[in-house]
Structure 1
């Protein structure tokens, strides 16, 4: 599953493509989101531009965005001026290049599963819709997707959550895909939720699994107050949805700026005629621990206009469904650990000791293999249950006959070696300070002739003359780290 712009660019360069747009999808678009006169569409994650070109041919004026320059270059070449092709990260960029007047249609085809902050991003896109506009999500369904590709699909819980955040939602099946048409994003209304689609955390504690669940969105500031246990009363206006909440129901608070969420249980609901009446009775410090009463009143009325306040105010006192831990369990892993291990790049790991003589001149051993490299005592982790330091200590005994680094030595350098033609696996190395060797210890070095044929002591100038530049770079970085003069991390490319 790609997560960076470079990965997406590389994927397009290597010829990876989405499945072509189907006739069923075209028919659903024509039926449910036909262009009106002057209609504008925004395609998010346009790839090589097939959907954007179709929307253009249907009558929309199209803006098509993607963060892959490779994909956009191909889209422009293949489809010309069918759309305005824009390089934009929908989750991070400010969107200043987008049409200021908004859009009648926004599409995300094979995009929603890849959004790291899905709620926040879709909420921001919803605010760009014109009145009557629709956001269309086309996505594979997790249940129909191979386990190793779970990350490209949405499951039923995720789809239910998406639909709950919009006042009108239609779902259609399209050639093995889910086709969602979403209209009128809910700004501050509780979204009705079907209990069977998600089990409240109370059911895990032996309570009734039928407890009703409601969803409130909070600004980051207030979410943190709830999470810390300082805020214990939430104020809303008495819309029909909020008036339907009952004592004992669960409320799921959602952080507007992230995908974080937590549960509370409603302990008390008290109605008031106005915010003034509510704040005259309730403790403002339990509503907003960080602000005075007058500021709280101003904030409430900046959120709710007079027509909303006229519906009446509700004070929801709650108790926590959690004890400073995540409120609900995570989803089960989509694959076993063994299956997951087959999907990620494999690495080898080595541990070694950096040793010096009494004058701090590095001591190294010459390998009998390959290019006869000069090496520190140590080796690859190849014994079951060893950590890198234990490997370094064991290998030092086998390679020199000396017991080195027996105390807990300082880690000097973490070395990452990229895979290359000679070694198809990445390698990670941890280099520990093995200390100084006395003259007597040096004389007692006993090499294993199957691995090394010589040991030597030189200053850095001498070693630089003897070693290949890439190998010397590791020695130099280790010595600088020992002296506190450089970072403890080195990357080597083969």
Structure 2
């Protein structure tokens, strides 16, 4: 199966797809997962979005996550904004983009067999369920799957293990697929879920398995490893990603998915990592022939590293069998609580408004601006404040341009010319953060088709910079001048002005 995002992107680009959503699956969803009021669903591994779009038609507000940018682009083009499309790895990425108030339904269709840590991921997802919510897993049966695709399916033992630690589970047949409903995750006790490893030889994370943040998962088993300061700093800087020990009983018990807490013996500091693999060897020579020495000690040549290892572990210790523990930069343990709640924090910071606009010019590259009917009757670019929930600045600029000129502008992928910070003065005035995008040139025909909204503007005009300097206040002209110079490669991409 695929190991990297590029491989998943290439697969979708080549037209490979999983089986389409069947009528039986639609019927089971309608029967066993009808949406309550204000229902919210999370579809993991959404691919090109068929299931996510179907959940939306049932009445759910849907978040759909996938690892593949190609799949998400096709899903958004096919099904539009009815679903919130998120690129996320459910096993390694921060889950901050997901809704903090949880979901009534979480679906994983053709995803669970590809997870590195099935039980841990499902338990983490269970913590995101609202009361009465359900996780639905759809997967092929191993007995009905060709050997070359076995890793895409679950056998009866794996299905049974999947259903452990849930107060309510049901298993249905969906036209040859297992349709598993999990409810009421058991959250008592302190043991860590034991994960079924994926089929031998599979690596990486599947398309769309994006990951819930580790703070939501059950706590992994913990092991403390003291380190000298120089090695601790190598880990801290991200350069050291393999730790070598010998197979004493406590070290031999460390498994993939466990947490190692490195303790700096010099400073007393600690940091935690997740064990990706624990590999035994018969000797340090064999270990260094297989492992990359620069990942064990990036500051020591291989020959000297062998001497150092044997200086730490004499022959009697080496005879126990060296162990290589590989890790990356994912945290293993929950983070600390924030010093204040989000609502409390909001009260401590200055508030701002955000605007976005399009810098457009005529066929001779002379700036086009609109004259406001409000306040000081300022001249400005087509655009406005970001005041529609869910919009990002470029969308705001495009929407406002249509409202203010009647023209659809900036439809391709316009470059960002300027980020503008405007000090608005003492409270209660709000500072502004602005984004000015290159809206390109307007033809004579486009200029003739401008239709102003008289509630906002009463005039539009085209002038060269010298002409605009005469018409505009110095502070307002400074923005126009900066944008034009940036477009020509001469000016700043960041501007600060004051009212």
Q: Which has the larger radius of gyration?
A: 1
Q: Which has the higher contact order (CA 8 A, sep 6+)?
A: 2
